[in-house]
């Protein structure tokens, strides 16, 4: 099976969580964003009148005839097939639950630069963004990181992964969130990680996996940038 990933070109965005899973597993996939007509191919599925089960938004995955939207749902689907989730049903639900909690965290990260919603530009909501960023760094980042540190601490397998003794897609996603926070908040994030050694170690370990390291060093890995989910603005707290 050759998977097709549909997403916007030029950004990591939510597509990156899917890319990391596919790369870690060495799966064959086509990243449609890299094709010259990629956006048109994507729009055909989003807006075409004959798509029986249209996704609401990218990213979405095409697996044979099946279209699968919503990042955590794509990872739920891929997790079992790619060996990036436990085999038992309870373990799969738990991994998915962690991914959904990461998705909430990612939404809040996005909303730092879009507190008034996705319909206005950042430039139209700068003062509000500044206020939200302060609250986010003071209260929300600690709450989410403490949670994942606790999950790591309580995982009895004790191998430093979130679920059981092997890496899952949720580990890759958490590592990506931490890397994004480091880009967006270069002063606060190392301070926050200093008190959460398990998350810091997970991030290092996940990004040192041979296939992930090769991917991160390749041209396929786009640099962080300010059209993306994680953004660094000089007027916001660092």
The strand pair at 3-6 and 29-31 is best described as parallel
Is 30 in a helix, a strand, or coil? strand
Q: Supply the minimum distance, in Å, between the C-beta of residue 179 and a second copy.
A: 21
- Residues 130-189 within binding reach of a second copy (CB under 8 A): 131-132, 135-136, 138-140, 144, 147, 150-151, 154-156
Nearer to a second copy, 55 or 209 (CB): 55
Q: Supply the minimum distance, in Å, between the C-beta of residue 228 and a second copy.
A: 19
Nearer to a second copy, 27 or 100 (CB): 100
Nearer to a second copy, 51 or 201 (CB): 51
Tokens describing residue 154 = 């309580």
Nearer to a second copy, 83 or 222 (CB): 83
Nearer to a second copy, 81 or 232 (CB): 81
Q: Does 237 bind a second copy (CB under 8 A)?
A: no
Q: Supply the minimum distance, in Å, between the C-beta of residue 27 and a second copy.
A: 18
- Number of chain positions touching a second copy (CB under 8 A): 46
Task: Write the interaction track for a second copy spanning residues 41-70; mark x where CB under 8 A is met and - where it is not.
Answer: ----------xxxxxx---------x-xxx
Residue 63 burial by CB count (10 A; 0-12/13-18/19+): exposed, middle or buried? middle
Residue 209 and residue 146: Cα distance in Å, rounded? 24
**Span between the terminal Cα atoms of the chain, in Å:** 43
Q: Does 201 bind a second copy (CB under 8 A)?
A: no
Cα 43 to its chain centre, rounded Å, is 22
Residue 20 and residue 202: Cα distance in Å, rounded? 15
Q: Does 4 bind a second copy (CB under 8 A)?
A: no
Residue 38 and residue 19: Cα distance in Å, rounded? 16
Is 130 in a helix, a strand, or coil? helix
């Amino acid at each position: 099976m050759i998977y097709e990933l549909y997403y916007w070109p030029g950004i990591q965005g939510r597509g990156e969580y899917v890319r990391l899973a596919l790369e870690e597993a060495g799966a064959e996939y086509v990243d449609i964003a890299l094709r010259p007509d990629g956006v048109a191919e994507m729009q055909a599925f989003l807006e075409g009148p004959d798509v029986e089960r249209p996704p609401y938004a990218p990213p979405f995955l095409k697996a044979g005839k099946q279209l699968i939207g919503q990042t955590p749902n794509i990872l739920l689907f891929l997790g079992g097939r790619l060996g990036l989730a436990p085999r038992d049903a309870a373990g799969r639900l738990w991994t998915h639950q962690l991914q959904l909690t990461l998705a909430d965290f990612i939404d809040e990260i996005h909303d730092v630069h879009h507190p008034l919603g996705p319909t206005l530009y950042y430039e139209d909501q700068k003062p509000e963004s500044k206020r939200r960023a302060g609250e986010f760094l003071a209260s929300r980042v600690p709450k989410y990181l403490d949670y994942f540190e606790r999950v790591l601490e309580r995982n009895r397998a004790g191998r430093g992964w979130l679920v059981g003794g092997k890496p899952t897609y949720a580990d890759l996603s958490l590592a990506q969130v931490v890397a994004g926070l480091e880009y967006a908040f270069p002063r606060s994030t190392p301070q926050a990680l200093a008190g959460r050694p398990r998350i810091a170690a997970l991030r290092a370990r996940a990004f040192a996996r041979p296939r992930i390291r090769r991917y991160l060093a390749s041209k396929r890995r786009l640099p962080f940038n300010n059209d993306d989910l994680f953004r660094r603005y000089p007027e916001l707290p660092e």
